Structure 1
Amino acid sequence: MSADQGLVKEIRDGLAELADPAKAPSMQAYMKSAMPFRGVPKPQRSALLKHVLADHVLPDRVTYSATVLELWRTAGYREERYAAIDLSGYRAYRRWQDPELLPVYEEMIVGGAWWDYMDELAIRRIGPILRADRARVTPVMRAWAAGADLWRRRTAIICQVGAKVETDTDLLRGAIEPAIAEPEFFLRKGIGWALRDYAKTAPGWVRSFVDDHPGLSGLSRREALKHLG
Protein backbone atom coordinates (compact mmCIF):
# COMPACT_ATOMS: atom_id res chain seq x y z
CA MET A 1 0.00 0.00 0.00
CA SER A 2 1.21 3.50 -0.83
CA ALA A 3 0.45 6.33 1.58
CA ASP A 4 0.00 9.92 0.52
CA GLN A 5 3.22 11.31 1.97
CA GLY A 6 2.25 14.84 0.99
CA LEU A 7 -0.82 14.75 3.21
CA VAL A 8 1.14 13.19 6.08
CA LYS A 9 3.74 15.97 5.82
CA GLU A 10 1.10 18.70 5.59
CA ILE A 11 -0.59 17.46 8.76
CA ARG A 12 2.68 17.16 10.65
CA ASP A 13 3.93 20.56 9.52
CA GLY A 14 0.60 22.11 10.53
CA LEU A 15 0.76 20.58 13.99
CA ALA A 16 4.36 21.75 14.38
CA GLU A 17 3.30 25.32 13.56
CA LEU A 18 0.55 25.17 16.19
CA ALA A 19 2.81 23.66 18.84
CA ASP A 20 2.82 25.22 22.28
CA PRO A 21 5.78 23.82 24.25
CA ALA A 22 4.43 25.35 27.45
CA LYS A 23 1.28 23.20 27.27
CA ALA A 24 2.91 19.98 26.11
CA PRO A 25 4.29 18.68 29.46
CA SER A 26 0.97 18.98 31.29
CA MET A 27 -0.88 17.31 28.42
CA GLN A 28 1.62 14.45 28.44
CA ALA A 29 1.37 14.08 32.21
CA TYR A 30 -2.43 14.08 32.19
CA MET A 31 -2.54 11.33 29.58
CA LYS A 32 0.30 9.39 31.26
CA SER A 33 1.86 9.19 27.81
CA ALA A 34 5.33 7.93 26.96
CA MET A 35 4.93 9.65 23.57
CA PRO A 36 5.45 13.43 23.79
CA PHE A 37 2.83 16.03 22.90
CA ARG A 38 3.19 19.04 20.66
CA GLY A 39 0.92 21.01 22.97
CA VAL A 40 -1.89 21.48 20.41
CA PRO A 41 -5.38 21.54 22.02
CA LYS A 42 -8.20 19.72 20.28
CA PRO A 43 -10.00 22.82 18.87
CA GLN A 44 -6.87 23.95 17.04
CA ARG A 45 -6.12 20.44 15.84
CA SER A 46 -9.68 20.02 14.57
CA ALA A 47 -9.54 23.35 12.71
CA LEU A 48 -6.27 22.35 11.07
CA LEU A 49 -7.57 18.95 10.00
CA LYS A 50 -10.80 20.44 8.66
CA HIS A 51 -8.84 22.77 6.39
CA VAL A 52 -6.14 20.30 5.33
CA LEU A 53 -8.45 17.36 4.62
CA ALA A 54 -10.91 19.47 2.64
CA ASP A 55 -8.10 20.63 0.35
CA HIS A 56 -6.31 17.30 0.01
CA VAL A 57 -8.63 14.50 -1.07
CA LEU A 58 -7.35 10.93 -1.17
CA PRO A 59 -8.15 9.10 -4.42
CA ASP A 60 -9.10 5.60 -3.26
CA ARG A 61 -9.56 3.42 -0.21
CA VAL A 62 -6.15 1.78 -0.51
CA THR A 63 -4.41 5.16 -0.32
CA TYR A 64 -6.75 6.21 2.46
CA SER A 65 -5.98 3.15 4.63
CA ALA A 66 -2.26 3.38 3.93
CA THR A 67 -2.17 7.09 4.83
CA VAL A 68 -4.03 6.54 8.11
CA LEU A 69 -1.55 3.83 9.07
CA GLU A 70 1.48 5.82 7.94
CA LEU A 71 0.44 8.77 10.10
CA TRP A 72 -0.24 6.41 13.00
CA ARG A 73 2.82 4.15 12.78
CA THR A 74 5.43 6.84 12.27
CA ALA A 75 3.99 9.41 14.68
CA GLY A 76 6.50 11.23 16.86
CA TYR A 77 3.87 13.13 18.83
CA ARG A 78 0.54 12.09 20.27
CA GLU A 79 -1.37 14.71 18.29
CA GLU A 80 -0.20 12.99 15.10
CA ARG A 81 -1.94 9.83 16.22
CA TYR A 82 -5.03 11.84 17.07
CA ALA A 83 -4.84 13.23 13.54
CA ALA A 84 -4.70 9.67 12.15
CA ILE A 85 -7.92 8.90 14.02
CA ASP A 86 -9.48 12.13 12.71
CA LEU A 87 -8.46 11.20 9.18
CA SER A 88 -9.91 7.72 9.56
CA GLY A 89 -13.34 9.20 10.26
CA TYR A 90 -13.31 12.07 7.79
CA ARG A 91 -16.72 12.45 6.13
CA ALA A 92 -15.37 12.21 2.57
CA TYR A 93 -14.31 8.61 3.27
CA ARG A 94 -17.46 7.46 5.04
CA ARG A 95 -18.28 5.13 2.15
CA TRP A 96 -15.22 3.06 3.02
CA GLN A 97 -16.31 2.40 6.60
CA ASP A 98 -16.91 -1.34 6.39
CA PRO A 99 -15.49 -4.56 7.89
CA GLU A 100 -12.44 -4.37 5.62
CA LEU A 101 -11.18 -1.60 7.92
CA LEU A 102 -11.31 -3.72 11.07
CA PRO A 103 -7.62 -4.77 10.81
CA VAL A 104 -6.64 -1.09 10.58
CA TYR A 105 -8.64 -0.17 13.65
CA GLU A 106 -7.49 -3.27 15.50
CA GLU A 107 -3.86 -2.29 14.97
CA MET A 108 -4.57 1.20 16.31
CA ILE A 109 -6.53 -0.09 19.32
CA VAL A 110 -4.00 -2.73 20.33
CA GLY A 111 -0.93 -0.67 19.51
CA GLY A 112 -2.27 2.50 21.10
CA ALA A 113 -3.30 0.62 24.24
CA TRP A 114 -4.88 3.59 25.99
CA TRP A 115 -8.38 4.95 26.40
CA ASP A 116 -7.94 8.23 24.52
CA TYR A 117 -7.27 6.30 21.31
CA MET A 118 -9.49 3.28 21.62
CA ASP A 119 -12.70 4.85 22.94
CA GLU A 120 -13.07 6.99 19.83
CA LEU A 121 -12.25 4.06 17.56
CA ALA A 122 -14.58 1.69 19.40
CA ILE A 123 -17.63 3.95 19.48
CA ARG A 124 -17.31 6.10 16.36
CA ARG A 125 -15.62 3.71 13.95
CA ILE A 126 -16.29 0.11 14.92
CA GLY A 127 -19.76 0.77 16.32
CA PRO A 128 -21.23 2.09 13.04
CA ILE A 129 -19.52 -0.68 11.06
CA LEU A 130 -21.05 -3.24 13.41
CA ARG A 131 -24.56 -1.82 12.98
CA ALA A 132 -24.18 -1.76 9.21
CA ASP A 133 -22.88 -5.33 8.91
CA ARG A 134 -23.76 -7.37 11.97
CA ALA A 135 -23.20 -10.72 10.27
CA ARG A 136 -19.52 -10.03 9.71
CA VAL A 137 -18.64 -7.89 12.71
CA THR A 138 -20.58 -9.51 15.57
CA PRO A 139 -18.41 -12.68 15.54
CA VAL A 140 -15.30 -10.50 15.63
CA MET A 141 -16.57 -8.60 18.67
CA ARG A 142 -17.46 -11.85 20.42
CA ALA A 143 -13.94 -13.15 19.77
CA TRP A 144 -12.42 -9.92 21.09
CA ALA A 145 -14.59 -10.13 24.21
CA ALA A 146 -13.35 -13.64 24.91
CA GLY A 147 -9.68 -12.88 24.22
CA ALA A 148 -6.82 -11.80 26.45
CA ASP A 149 -6.15 -8.28 25.16
CA LEU A 150 -7.59 -5.60 27.46
CA TRP A 151 -8.29 -3.05 24.74
CA ARG A 152 -9.99 -5.46 22.36
CA ARG A 153 -12.17 -6.56 25.27
CA ARG A 154 -13.06 -2.98 26.21
CA THR A 155 -13.84 -2.26 22.56
CA ALA A 156 -16.31 -5.15 22.42
CA ILE A 157 -17.99 -3.88 25.60
CA ILE A 158 -18.38 -0.22 24.64
CA CYS A 159 -18.70 -0.36 20.84
CA GLN A 160 -22.50 -0.10 21.12
CA VAL A 161 -22.49 3.06 23.23
CA GLY A 162 -24.90 5.43 21.48
CA ALA A 163 -26.65 2.67 19.54
CA LYS A 164 -29.90 3.13 21.49
CA VAL A 165 -32.67 0.92 20.01
CA GLU A 166 -30.15 -0.63 17.62
CA THR A 167 -28.26 -2.20 20.51
CA ASP A 168 -27.77 -5.94 20.15
CA THR A 169 -28.43 -7.05 23.73
CA ASP A 170 -27.14 -10.56 23.08
CA LEU A 171 -23.81 -9.11 22.01
CA LEU A 172 -23.80 -6.63 24.89
CA ARG A 173 -24.38 -9.44 27.36
CA GLY A 174 -21.82 -11.64 25.64
CA ALA A 175 -19.19 -8.89 25.75
CA ILE A 176 -19.77 -8.00 29.41
CA GLU A 177 -20.11 -11.40 31.05
CA PRO A 178 -16.55 -12.65 30.40
CA ALA A 179 -15.19 -9.49 32.05
CA ILE A 180 -17.41 -9.33 35.15
CA ALA A 181 -14.90 -10.98 37.46
CA GLU A 182 -11.91 -9.05 36.12
CA PRO A 183 -10.26 -6.53 38.49
CA GLU A 184 -9.05 -4.31 35.63
CA PHE A 185 -10.39 -0.75 36.03
CA PHE A 186 -10.88 -0.11 32.32
CA LEU A 187 -13.05 -3.20 31.95
CA ARG A 188 -15.13 -2.38 35.02
CA LYS A 189 -15.55 1.22 33.93
CA GLY A 190 -16.40 0.13 30.39
CA ILE A 191 -19.09 -2.24 31.65
CA GLY A 192 -20.65 0.51 33.72
CA TRP A 193 -20.50 2.98 30.83
CA ALA A 194 -22.09 0.57 28.36
CA LEU A 195 -24.92 -0.28 30.77
CA ARG A 196 -25.47 3.33 31.85
CA ASP A 197 -25.78 4.39 28.23
CA TYR A 198 -28.21 1.62 27.34
CA ALA A 199 -30.26 2.39 30.47
CA LYS A 200 -31.37 5.59 28.73
CA THR A 201 -33.14 3.38 26.17
CA ALA A 202 -34.05 0.25 28.14
CA PRO A 203 -33.89 0.88 31.89
CA GLY A 204 -35.77 -2.31 32.66
CA TRP A 205 -33.29 -4.44 30.75
CA VAL A 206 -30.36 -2.85 32.56
CA ARG A 207 -31.97 -3.25 35.99
CA SER A 208 -32.62 -6.92 35.26
CA PHE A 209 -29.07 -7.44 34.01
CA VAL A 210 -27.61 -5.88 37.15
CA ASP A 211 -29.92 -7.93 39.39
CA ASP A 212 -29.01 -11.12 37.53
CA HIS A 213 -25.26 -10.50 37.88
CA PRO A 214 -24.41 -10.03 41.55
CA GLY A 215 -20.74 -10.45 40.71
CA LEU A 216 -20.60 -7.03 39.05
CA SER A 217 -18.05 -4.77 40.69
CA GLY A 218 -19.27 -1.85 42.76
CA LEU A 219 -17.92 0.51 40.10
CA SER A 220 -19.78 -1.21 37.27
CA ARG A 221 -22.98 -1.39 39.31
CA ARG A 222 -22.89 2.26 40.38
CA GLU A 223 -22.24 3.44 36.83
CA ALA A 224 -24.96 1.22 35.40
CA LEU A 225 -27.61 2.48 37.80
CA LYS A 226 -26.37 6.06 38.00
CA HIS A 227 -29.45 7.64 36.44
CA LEU A 228 -32.01 5.01 37.43
CA GLY A 229 -32.43 6.07 41.05
Structure 2
Amino acid sequence: MTDSFALIQTALRPLADPTRAKSMSAYLRGRYEFLGITTPARRAAVSPILRTLRAAPDWNVVTNCWAAPEREYCYVACDHLQQVPLQNSDLPRLKRLVIEADWWDCVDLMIRKIGSIATAEDMRNWAADENSWVRRVAILHQLRLREATDHVLLAELIDMNLGSGEFFIDKAIGWALRDYSGTNPDWVREFLATTELSTLSRRQAAIKLPPVIEPGSAGLGSS
Protein backbone atom coordinates (compact mmCIF):
# COMPACT_ATOMS: atom_id res chain seq x y z
CA MET A 1 0.00 0.00 0.00
CA THR A 2 1.29 3.45 -0.92
CA ASP A 3 2.13 5.67 2.06
CA SER A 4 0.08 8.76 1.27
CA PHE A 5 1.78 10.80 3.97
CA ALA A 6 5.18 10.08 2.42
CA LEU A 7 3.82 11.23 -0.93
CA ILE A 8 2.60 14.45 0.68
CA GLN A 9 6.03 15.05 2.18
CA THR A 10 7.67 14.43 -1.19
CA ALA A 11 5.29 16.90 -2.83
CA LEU A 12 5.82 19.68 -0.28
CA ARG A 13 9.48 19.58 0.69
CA PRO A 14 10.85 20.90 -2.63
CA LEU A 15 8.61 23.96 -2.25
CA ALA A 16 10.09 25.01 1.09
CA ASP A 17 11.07 28.66 1.38
CA PRO A 18 13.07 29.39 4.57
CA THR A 19 12.57 33.14 4.31
CA ARG A 20 8.81 32.86 4.02
CA ALA A 21 8.83 30.20 6.74
CA LYS A 22 10.22 32.72 9.23
CA SER A 23 7.48 35.25 8.52
CA MET A 24 4.77 32.58 8.69
CA SER A 25 6.08 31.40 12.05
CA ALA A 26 6.22 34.98 13.33
CA TYR A 27 2.57 35.48 12.36
CA LEU A 28 1.67 32.68 14.78
CA ARG A 29 3.89 34.16 17.49
CA GLY A 30 6.69 31.68 16.83
CA ARG A 31 4.63 28.78 18.15
CA TYR A 32 5.19 26.56 15.10
CA GLU A 33 7.69 25.74 12.40
CA PHE A 34 6.78 26.17 8.75
CA LEU A 35 8.08 24.99 5.41
CA GLY A 36 7.22 28.41 4.01
CA ILE A 37 4.67 27.37 1.36
CA THR A 38 1.74 29.55 0.34
CA THR A 39 -1.77 28.12 0.48
CA PRO A 40 -2.28 28.04 -3.32
CA ALA A 41 1.07 26.32 -3.87
CA ARG A 42 0.44 23.82 -1.07
CA ARG A 43 -2.98 22.88 -2.37
CA ALA A 44 -1.78 22.56 -5.94
CA ALA A 45 1.04 20.25 -4.85
CA VAL A 46 -1.05 17.84 -2.79
CA SER A 47 -4.41 17.93 -4.58
CA PRO A 48 -3.60 14.91 -6.81
CA ILE A 49 -2.83 12.91 -3.66
CA LEU A 50 -5.87 14.04 -1.70
CA ARG A 51 -8.07 13.36 -4.71
CA THR A 52 -7.31 9.64 -4.33
CA LEU A 53 -8.42 9.70 -0.67
CA ARG A 54 -11.90 11.18 -1.01
CA ALA A 55 -13.85 7.99 -0.37
CA ALA A 56 -13.17 8.00 3.37
CA PRO A 57 -10.96 9.74 5.93
CA ASP A 58 -7.41 8.43 6.01
CA TRP A 59 -6.72 8.70 9.72
CA ASN A 60 -3.12 7.59 9.21
CA VAL A 61 -2.54 10.64 7.02
CA VAL A 62 -4.32 12.90 9.49
CA THR A 63 -2.38 11.55 12.47
CA ASN A 64 0.98 11.89 10.72
CA CYS A 65 0.17 15.38 9.46
CA TRP A 66 -0.85 16.45 12.96
CA ALA A 67 2.40 15.08 14.38
CA ALA A 68 4.65 16.75 11.79
CA PRO A 69 6.54 19.80 13.10
CA GLU A 70 5.77 22.02 10.11
CA ARG A 71 2.31 23.55 10.29
CA GLU A 72 1.53 23.15 6.59
CA TYR A 73 0.91 19.45 7.21
CA CYS A 74 -1.87 20.32 9.64
CA TYR A 75 -3.46 22.43 6.91
CA VAL A 76 -3.21 19.50 4.48
CA ALA A 77 -5.00 17.27 6.98
CA CYS A 78 -7.75 19.88 7.38
CA ASP A 79 -8.17 20.07 3.60
CA HIS A 80 -8.45 16.27 3.50
CA LEU A 81 -11.10 16.23 6.24
CA GLN A 82 -13.11 18.86 4.37
CA GLN A 83 -13.17 16.64 1.28
CA VAL A 84 -14.30 13.34 2.80
CA PRO A 85 -17.57 12.14 4.33
CA LEU A 86 -17.50 12.17 8.13
CA GLN A 87 -19.97 10.74 10.62
CA ASN A 88 -21.13 11.77 14.07
CA SER A 89 -19.10 8.83 15.39
CA ASP A 90 -15.95 10.65 14.23
CA LEU A 91 -16.48 13.45 16.76
CA PRO A 92 -14.21 11.95 19.47
CA ARG A 93 -11.32 11.83 16.98
CA LEU A 94 -12.04 15.37 15.83
CA LYS A 95 -12.22 16.63 19.40
CA ARG A 96 -8.80 15.16 20.07
CA LEU A 97 -7.46 16.92 16.97
CA VAL A 98 -8.92 20.22 18.16
CA ILE A 99 -7.22 19.83 21.53
CA GLU A 100 -3.90 18.85 19.97
CA ALA A 101 -4.05 21.65 17.37
CA ASP A 102 -4.06 24.09 20.27
CA TRP A 103 -4.28 27.25 18.16
CA TRP A 104 -6.84 29.05 16.05
CA ASP A 105 -5.25 28.44 12.65
CA CYS A 106 -6.04 24.72 12.50
CA VAL A 107 -8.96 24.73 14.93
CA ASP A 108 -10.94 27.23 12.86
CA LEU A 109 -10.41 25.21 9.68
CA MET A 110 -12.39 22.35 11.24
CA ILE A 111 -15.31 24.29 12.70
CA ARG A 112 -17.85 24.05 9.89
CA LYS A 113 -17.11 20.39 9.16
CA ILE A 114 -17.60 19.52 12.81
CA GLY A 115 -20.79 21.57 12.88
CA SER A 116 -22.15 19.62 9.92
CA ILE A 117 -22.03 16.28 11.79
CA ALA A 118 -22.65 17.34 15.40
CA THR A 119 -25.95 17.37 17.24
CA ALA A 120 -27.11 20.21 19.46
CA GLU A 121 -26.42 18.05 22.50
CA ASP A 122 -22.89 17.36 21.24
CA MET A 123 -22.26 21.08 21.04
CA ARG A 124 -23.72 21.71 24.48
CA ASN A 125 -21.25 19.19 25.84
CA TRP A 126 -18.40 20.79 23.93
CA ALA A 127 -19.43 24.26 25.14
CA ALA A 128 -18.94 23.04 28.72
CA ASP A 129 -15.60 21.36 28.06
CA GLU A 130 -12.53 22.31 30.06
CA ASN A 131 -10.57 22.96 26.86
CA SER A 132 -11.13 26.46 25.48
CA TRP A 133 -10.55 25.42 21.84
CA VAL A 134 -13.30 22.81 22.11
CA ARG A 135 -15.60 25.48 23.55
CA ARG A 136 -14.65 27.84 20.72
CA VAL A 137 -15.72 25.25 18.14
CA ALA A 138 -19.07 24.85 19.88
CA ILE A 139 -19.75 28.59 19.87
CA LEU A 140 -18.84 28.92 16.19
CA HIS A 141 -20.22 25.67 14.78
CA GLN A 142 -23.21 27.37 13.10
CA LEU A 143 -21.16 29.85 11.07
CA ARG A 144 -22.71 30.71 7.68
CA LEU A 145 -25.90 28.76 8.32
CA ARG A 146 -27.88 31.99 7.92
CA GLU A 147 -31.62 31.26 8.23
CA ALA A 148 -30.87 27.70 9.35
CA THR A 149 -29.12 29.01 12.47
CA ASP A 150 -30.69 27.83 15.72
CA HIS A 151 -30.49 31.14 17.56
CA VAL A 152 -31.83 29.64 20.78
CA LEU A 153 -28.91 27.21 20.77
CA LEU A 154 -26.51 30.00 19.80
CA ALA A 155 -27.62 32.06 22.80
CA GLU A 156 -27.33 29.05 25.08
CA LEU A 157 -23.78 28.23 24.00
CA ILE A 158 -22.73 31.86 24.38
CA ASP A 159 -24.35 32.11 27.82
CA MET A 160 -22.38 29.05 28.92
CA ASN A 161 -19.15 30.89 28.15
CA LEU A 162 -19.82 34.40 29.38
CA GLY A 163 -17.27 35.84 31.75
CA SER A 164 -14.50 33.43 30.79
CA GLY A 165 -12.03 36.26 30.29
CA GLU A 166 -10.38 34.21 27.54
CA PHE A 167 -9.48 36.18 24.43
CA PHE A 168 -10.29 33.46 21.89
CA ILE A 169 -13.61 32.68 23.58
CA ASP A 170 -14.67 36.32 23.71
CA LYS A 171 -13.57 36.74 20.09
CA ALA A 172 -15.59 33.66 19.10
CA ILE A 173 -18.72 35.03 20.79
CA GLY A 174 -18.39 38.27 18.86
CA TRP A 175 -17.68 36.44 15.60
CA ALA A 176 -20.72 34.16 15.97
CA LEU A 177 -23.00 37.14 16.64
CA ARG A 178 -21.48 39.18 13.81
CA ASP A 179 -22.02 36.29 11.40
CA TYR A 180 -25.67 35.96 12.40
CA SER A 181 -26.25 39.72 12.34
CA GLY A 182 -26.30 39.61 8.55
CA THR A 183 -29.34 37.33 8.71
CA ASN A 184 -31.18 38.52 11.82
CA PRO A 185 -29.87 41.92 12.94
CA ASP A 186 -32.85 42.59 15.20
CA TRP A 187 -32.22 39.41 17.19
CA VAL A 188 -28.54 40.29 17.57
CA ARG A 189 -29.38 43.83 18.70
CA GLU A 190 -31.77 42.45 21.30
CA PHE A 191 -29.16 39.96 22.48
CA LEU A 192 -26.58 42.72 22.82
CA ALA A 193 -29.06 44.87 24.74
CA THR A 194 -29.94 42.14 27.23
CA THR A 195 -26.65 40.29 27.68
CA GLU A 196 -23.57 41.38 29.60
CA LEU A 197 -20.76 40.74 27.11
CA SER A 198 -17.09 41.58 27.23
CA THR A 199 -15.99 44.71 25.41
CA LEU A 200 -14.24 42.56 22.81
CA SER A 201 -17.32 40.40 22.15
CA ARG A 202 -19.60 43.41 21.92
CA ARG A 203 -17.29 45.29 19.57
CA GLN A 204 -16.89 42.28 17.27
CA ALA A 205 -20.62 41.54 17.25
CA ALA A 206 -21.56 45.07 16.21
CA ILE A 207 -19.15 45.46 13.29
CA LYS A 208 -21.69 44.60 10.57
CA LEU A 209 -24.91 45.66 12.25
CA PRO A 210 -26.76 48.12 10.00
CA PRO A 211 -27.78 51.41 11.63
CA VAL A 212 -31.24 51.59 13.14
CA ILE A 213 -33.52 53.95 11.21
CA GLU A 214 -36.04 55.53 13.54
CA PRO A 215 -39.57 56.07 12.21
CA GLY A 216 -39.88 59.49 10.62
CA SER A 217 -36.14 60.07 10.56
CA ALA A 218 -35.65 59.54 6.84
CA GLY A 219 -34.29 62.64 5.21
CA LEU A 220 -33.37 64.43 8.43
CA GLY A 221 -30.36 66.62 7.98
CA SER A 222 -30.78 66.86 4.22
CA SER A 223 -31.56 70.06 2.42
Provide TM-score, normalisation by structure 2: 0.88
Is 2:180 the partner of 1:198?
A: yes
**Structure 2 match to 1:81:** 74
1:32-81 per-position Cα deviation (integer Å, ceiling 9, x unaligned): 24331000111101111222223x336x64x6233322322x31211111
Q: How many residues align?
A: 210
**Structure 2 match to 1:48:** 45
CA distance in 1, matches of 2:90, 2:42: 24
Give the partner amino acid of 1:85. C
1:6-56 per-position Cα deviation (integer Å, ceiling 9, x unaligned): 1100111111011111111111111124331000111101111222223x3
Matched-pair identity in %: 36
**Structure 2 match to 1:57:** 53
1:70-116 per-position Cα deviation (integer Å, ceiling 9, x unaligned): 322x31211111111111112xx2xx222122122111111111000
C-alpha contact (below 8 Å) 2:12/2:46 kept by paired residues: no
| SS across alignment from 2:75 | helix
**Structure 2 match to 1:225:** 206
| SS across alignment from 1:147 | coil
**Structure 1 match to 2:103:** 114
Give ranges in structure 2 of 5+ residues lacking alignment.
Answer: 212-223
CA distance in 1, matches of 2:47, 2:10: 15
**Structure 1 match to 2:220:** none
1:138-188 per-position Cα deviation (integer Å, ceiling 9, x unaligned): 111101111221001111111111111111112211110122212111111
CA distance in 2, matches of 1:23, 1:179: 37
> Are the structure 2 counterparts of residues 25 and 151 from structure 1 closer, same or farther at C-alpha, using a change threshold of 3 Å?
same
CA distance in 1, matches of 2:205, 2:14: 43
Select which of 66, 75, 94 maps to 2:60. Answer: 66
> Are the structure 2 counterparts of residues 177 and 70 from structure 1 closer, same or farther at C-alpha, using a change threshold of 3 Å?
same
Name the Cα RMSD after superposition: 1.7
Give the structure with the larger helix fraction. Answer: 1
C-alpha contact (below 8 Å) 1:37/1:79 kept by paired residues: yes
Give the partner amino acid of 1:217. S
Runs ≥4 residues deviating over 6 A? none
Is 2:165 the partner of 1:183?
A: yes
Answer with 1 or 2: which has the greater Rg. Answer: 2
Give ranges in structure 1 of 5+ residues lacking alignment.
Answer: 131-136
Is 2:115 the partner of 1:127?
A: yes
Provide TM-score, normalisation by structure 1: 0.86
C-alpha contact (below 8 Å) 1:145/1:174 kept by paired residues: no
